[in-house]
Amino acid sequence: MNARKLKAWRAQHAPMLEAASEAVRTRRPYSPFSDELADYDRAQVEQGESRFRRLLDAPLHTTPQVSTEPDQRWAGSERSPYGFDLGIRYRVEDFSQLASRAEVAKRKWQQLNIELRCALLCEVIARLQDDTFLFAQVGMHTSGHGLFMGFHANAVHAQARALESVAHVLAVAREMSCQFEAPMMERQGSCQRLSRQFATMPVGLSLVYAGQVVPTWGAYPGLFASLAAGCPVVVIGHDQAVLPMALTVKVLKAACAQVGVPHDIVNLFHSNDPAAYRQAALHPDVRLIDYMGGAEFGSWLRQHAWQARVMTQQSAQTPVFLHSTSDYDGMLENLAFGLCSFSAQLCTSPQTLYVLPEGIRVVDGVVSVAQFERDLVERVEQVLARFPCARELLGALVAPQSLAEIRACESARFARVLRHAETVHDPDYPHACIVTPSLIAVREGFASSVEHYGREIRGPVSFLVQPPDLRALLAELRTIGQHHGALGLGLYTVDAGVEHAMRQVSQEMGALLSINFCKNFYISQCAVFTDIHGGGTGAAANVTYGAPDYYHARLRMTEQRKLL
């Protein structure tokens, strides 16, 4: 093992890790890398695209030593949401063999002290930052991002999320580790001295299932937290978003190989048999499972993978209550952009807008529900008009059935359509499904339709609902949180009583409450190092990114005593 190189990395990345550790301690926002495109050279953007193109229609090797075994099997079926096959193939291996190799690699990995493990992972994060615009392109063509969205969600913000996990695990390990000597008096005997040593050990093999919408942002917290804790990791990418996780595993393996750490500490598991992904979760060596994705598979994992600690964040929607505001124009701007951005495919995008029948109180009176409907539609049109290239704002739909689902909502009995979703032709990507927002008012008398609009509908559709009063609204929000899932909750009000009531219900739901977000800080945004993600309650999540338990779960405490 190249201890000199590891120590050099520790010294090189110490300022970044110290800043991250301080941010973790204080919960203050911290951005290790700029998220402004203007701060990067245009040539980097172009190189990212050319590097992505070179990956197409070829096998992708994640290991540093490319083997050419004659019986190797390869598979891959990714298709860009912008309308072409990637043609990238990944090695198919037996999961039991990966688990066995991981167990061997773990013995050497956990022998590294936590400081050196974190140094190696910081080096990996720095290399991922060098690959930012490759990952931005990959985000476009596996997750339907626009370039700016890919730059943020699949690159710099995901890298920050990785560093956040490393800093958290380092803090937990330091907290749980100590060594001291102390006197011990046994009845009337003589005083003796006892040494005690408390240390941490990894809990075991970690399995990380990545989603499609924000694969790196969603998977990096579990991946880097487990590795920092000393756990070996097997990564399973979404079948349409394998590439971002394969590239991440490749960077991790290359750094490990460079310093003599067994690169089997992390592996990619890919199969052409979907049942193999369920069987992997049931392997007796798997002790941790991180999952971000749809509710069906998340529920299956929690019901069947009893040998592992299963941590899921799954289907959710974000309701918004518009009660009153001192900045009506800023509120409109914020909502309209949120409804358009990335075609509202994030679980934190505003989906259900609640307005009481008496309308929205503003500085100089009241805006009626009918007026608000007209104003919101007009503002959506204005936001769309600012982007000559619609895909930069809207991205492309990742789920082929999304448009059909939106059309079904528009034609439902409860729907009064304020704005129909429209497909947009992109000359650069003529086969992409790019869709503008659909705005639907729920007709009075269709209270049972909460079964339709209360669930997550991935795509640009939102519902305007008029509950009869505040009490009915709060009851419906509790139902959505418990049975359908909500990770976020928006509120616009200048009334302290309304704010207090919504604070209470958001805590019960385990939803991140965003109050009076106007202009250009959006309800869907989650600032790394300060905001949590997932409330650990209700249908949406049983774990919280950024909460202590998320990191403690990967370590166990050990004690050794010696009579001196």
Residue 516 three-state SS: coil
Alpha helices in 208-263 (DSSP H): 215-229, 243-258
DSSP for 27-95 reads T----SS---GGGS-HHHHHHHHHHHHHHTTSB---SSS----TT-EEE---B-TTS-B---BEEE--H
For 293-340, the DSSP string reads S-HHHHHHHHHH-TTSEEEEE----EEEEE-B-S-HHHHHHHHHHHHH
Pairing of strands 286-292, 205-209: parallel
Confidence of residue 371 (pLDDT cuts 50, 70, 90): very high
Reported as a single tens digit per residue, the pLDDT across 376-408 is: 999 999 999 999 999 999 999 998 789 999 999
Residues 31-56 have a mean pLDDT of 94
What domains appear along the chain, each with residue ranges and CATH number? 3-185+192-308+544-563 (3.40.605.10), 318-515 (3.40.309.10)
233-236 and 286-292 as β-strands: parallel, antiparallel, unpaired?
unpaired
**Contact assessment for residue 327 and residue 348, using Cβ atoms and an 8 Å cutoff:** no
> Is residue 50 exposed (0-12), middle (13-18) or buried (19+ Cβ within 10 Å)?
exposed
Q: Is the pLDDT of residue 147 over 70?
A: yes
Name the percent of the chain lying above pLDDT 70: 98
Q: 453 is written with which tokens?
A: 């609009």
Model confidence pLDDT, tens digit, residues 485-502: 888 999 999 999 999 999
pLDDT at 166: 98
Which is it for strands 191-202 and 555-563: parallel, antiparallel or unpaired? antiparallel
pLDDT digits (tens, 9 = 90+) for 70-127: 778 999 999 999 999 999 999 999 999 999 999 999 999 998 999 999 999 999 999 9
Q: What is the pLDDT of residue 277?
A: 96
Lowest mean pLDDT among 118-132, 169-183, 302-316, 529-543: 529-543
Q: What pLDDT score was predicted for residue 231?
A: 97
In this predicted structure, what is the pLDDT of residue 536?
73
- 187: pLDDT confidence band, cut at 50, 70 and 90? low
Q: Is the pLDDT of residue 281 over 80?
A: yes
Predicted local distance difference test score (pLDDT) of residue 316: 86
> If pLDDT is split at 50, 70 and 90, which confidence band does 66 have?
low
More confident residue, 484 or 266: 266
- Give the model confidence (pLDDT) of 446-470 as tens digits: 766 788 888 888 889 999 999 999 9
Which tens digits make up the pLDDT trace of 541-550? 888 888 899 9
* Span 274-280, average pLDDT: 95
Checking if the pLDDT of 284 tops 90, the result is yes
**Average pLDDT over the chain, rounded to whole?**
93
- Which CA distances in Å does 491 have to 355, 407, 408, 498, 505? 11, 28, 28, 9, 12
Looking at residue 535, its pLDDT comes to 77
- In one letter, which amino acid is 173? A
Average pLDDT of span 527-553: 87
- The answer to which of 200-204, 207-211, 340-344 has the lowest mean pLDDT is 340-344
Contact 247, 220 (CB under 8 A): no
